[in-house]
Structure 1
Amino acid sequence: MSNPLKQLKDAIFSINNIEKTSVQKKSNVYESLPVGYLNQPNFFNQVISIETDLFPKELLQHFQKIEKKQKRIKKIFNGPRTIDIDILLFDDLCIDEKELVIPHPRMLERAFVMIPLLEIEPSIKIPKINNLKEFLGKLDIKTINIIND
């Protein structure tokens, strides 16, 4: 939380070093108001596209190791944290399990997710969503600002 831009860069570096995985695209970094628990610093968000030969759960395990390495501690739901790495989409898979839900269940509600996602994949197709424009029209884009690092 003390240096969010460095934490994002460190996370991307670590992701790029996961076996059989490489970062393909990176969005700009966006600053946004916190969600849920409001008594915390603003969020810094970035979306990346990766190519991997891993299965979704294997990838999730690697992401959790990176979060742990960056000293993520879960004390308060939606509370302050050093890093939060989510799998938004994985090809056209739909997974609904306790430890992993793909597509990410709240991604369509969050401008800080959708704006950077559309930046790197403007024609993205989201499983089970026929009219993406309907969701995008409901987003409050005034809550996010692009960061020039």
Structure 2
Amino acid sequence: MSTVAFIALGANLGQPALQLQHALDLLAKLPQSQLLQQSSFYSSSAVGYTDQPDFINAVAKLKTCLSAAALLQAMLAIEAECGRQRTFQDAPRTLDLDLLLYGDAQIRQDHLIVPHPRMHQRAFVLHPLTEISPDIFIPGLGPASAFLPLVADQQLSVLTAGKPLG
């Protein structure tokens, strides 16, 4: 049985747009999975540790038969392949992949929390997410679009147009 998952992508070291595209290509090659859609690429300021370059962000929609835990492990492997090093919280990075939603599941186990606990507080997640899925519902919180006014003060610029796949 397949599940639709949403994955946030971000990078601000090296060539971020190329790294995001490479990560999307790798997500499309995951076993038992199909990349359905990707959002536009957005530019945003760093959150937390702000003394670093701006990020390029996007959201991918993936249909998968992988469990949430297996998908997370695959995402971590993609980050590692793209040179991700975890030096400190909110550090600059070559690639960051976050599992935002896994169907309508609410999961809390070890290093896996779904829905992503801060997704509704981040313009760089909400805008690309609602771009590709305008009526998406965040389990336990409500429609993602309801949170857009709350992040209106966060700077965000669209860089490229998203594209449906398949």
TM-score of the pair, normalised by structure 2:
0.86
Alignment of 1:77-92 (within 5 A): 77-92=89-104
Partners of 1:122 and 1:57 lie apart in 2 by: 26
Runs of at least 4 residues off by over 4 Å: 131-134
Alignment of 1:107 onto 2:119? yes
Cα RMSD, aligned residues only = 1.4
- The structure carrying a bigger strand percent of its residues is 2
1:10 correspondence with 2:22: yes
Unaligned runs of 5+ in 1: none
Percent identity for Structure 1 against Structure 2:
35
The structure 2 residue matched to 1:30, chosen from 37, 42, 46, is 42
> What SS does the aligned partner of 1:19 have?
coil
If asked which structure has higher relative contact order (CA below 8 Å, sep 6+), I would say 2
TM-score of the two chains, using structure 1 as the length reference: 0.95
Pick closer, same or farther for the CA change 1:11–1:133 going to 2, 3 Å. closer
Mapped pair 1:57 → 2:41? no
- What is the aligned residue count? 149
Once the two structures are TM-superposed, the CA of residue 125 in structure 1 deviates from its matched residue by 1.2
- Whole-angstrom distance in 2 between the partners of 1:132 and 1:7: 26
Paired position in structure 2 for 1:146? 158
Which amino acid in 2 is paired with 1:22?
A: Q
Matched, 1:126 2:138: yes
Q: What CA distance in whole angstroms lies between the structure 1 residues aligned with 2:132 and 2:32?
A: 21
Q: Structure 2: which amino acid aligns with 1:66? A: I
